[in-house]
Chains A and B, each alone.
Chain A
Amino acid sequence: MVSRGISGKESMEIFLFYSLATTLLTFAVLTVTARNPVRSAVYLVSTLLAVAGLFFLLQAEFVGAAQILVYVGGIMVLFLFVILLVNVERAEKERTSSRQWKTGLALGIVLVIELGYLLSRGSSIFGETPVRELIEGRSQNTESVGELLYTQYMLPFEIASVLLLVAIVGAVVLAKKKMQNRA
């Protein structure tokens, strides 16, 4: 595999990219096609982990770690709780695809063709290999991202925290049982 100027490090990167990409697409298709929602959730966990691996490959360590902690540790546990709350035994026996599945699939294929066309038109711009300078600052990814979050993106950061607070309160209000006797 190491030939014509491709160093061992680069061939390792290529191998990792293609194995992660294959895992990602396989588990994404399985997520969408699985009959049982619990299985679907477990496949989605694998998909999200593969995306996190791609983030690490792109030298975005902080985003990758946040992906694992927030998505796999937080959102997916929430999903599994809700799946177990709404009973799945009955749902599993029923038809899984909606009434308009043929139209949906056709639209999906149209979307793939459209995106493929756009990417093939634009690939000349993105074609050449990016110059990756391994400067000193790049190795401290978390530090740099944190600095950017607290300086340039201060206002969006604060708005995001307010949004999370609203979401917490909203989720509690929505999921709370109604109290009939009071008020």
Chain B
Amino acid sequence: MIETTHYLILGALLFSIGVVGVLTRRNILIIFMSIELMLNAVNLNLVAFSDRLQGLDGQVFAIFVITIAVAEAAVGLGIVIALFRNQETINIDTLDQMKW
């Protein structure tokens, strides 16, 4: 039987990889994918605890997280398309018009 700690360590590593992706990449689409990685790490933890506590609440929460991820991806990719139409770029280094 795999201990819950192993799943938690795996989730922590996956989350950290997502954080590094968000902070180091330039392409906004890859940043979005890194956010999906982080959401998956959270889901992994939720389902691992659901298995440990023998309750299904964690799995229900994981389904809600997937729902939020879908909404986020749809709106986010819409923003990316609008951004690309206006600015001709998806590089976050050049998208600094809101900086002062």
Complex partner residue of B13 from A25, A105, A126, A160, CB under 8 angstroms: A25
Complex partner residue of A37 from B29, B51, B66, CB under 8 angstroms: B29
- Closest residue of A by beta carbon distance from B50: A60
Given the known interface contacts A25-B14, A47-B40, the answer about A82 and B50 at a Cβ–Cβ threshold of 8 Å is no
Chain B contact patch, size range: 35 or more
Chain A residues lying within 8 Å of B4, measured Cβ to Cβ, are 126, 130
- What does DSSP make chain A's interface, helix, strand, loop or mixed? helix
Chain A contact patch, size range: 35 or more
Minimum distance in angstroms from A67 CB to a CB of chain B: 7
Q: Judging by beta carbons under 8 Å apart, are A95 and B52 in contact?
A: no
A21-77 CB contacts (< 8 Å) to partner B: 21, 24-25, 28-29, 31-32, 34, 37, 40-41, 44, 47-48, 51, 54-55, 57-60, 62-63, 66-67, 70-71, 74-75
Complex partner residue of B63 from A10, A94, A144, A145, CB under 8 angstroms: A145
Given contact pairs A13-B1, A17-B6, enumerate 10 new A-B contacts (beta carbons under 8 Å).
A37-B27, A37-B29, A63-B43, A86-B90, A98-B26, A98-B92, A108-B20, A111-B16, A174-B79, A174-B81
Pairs across A and B, CB under 8 Å, 22 listed = A10-B1, A21-B6, A21-B10, A31-B17, A31-B21, A31-B30, A32-B34, A40-B30, A44-B33, A79-B32, A86-B80, A101-B23, A107-B19, A108-B20, A112-B12, A115-B12, A116-B12, A132-B54, A144-B56, A153-B64, A171-B77, A174-B82
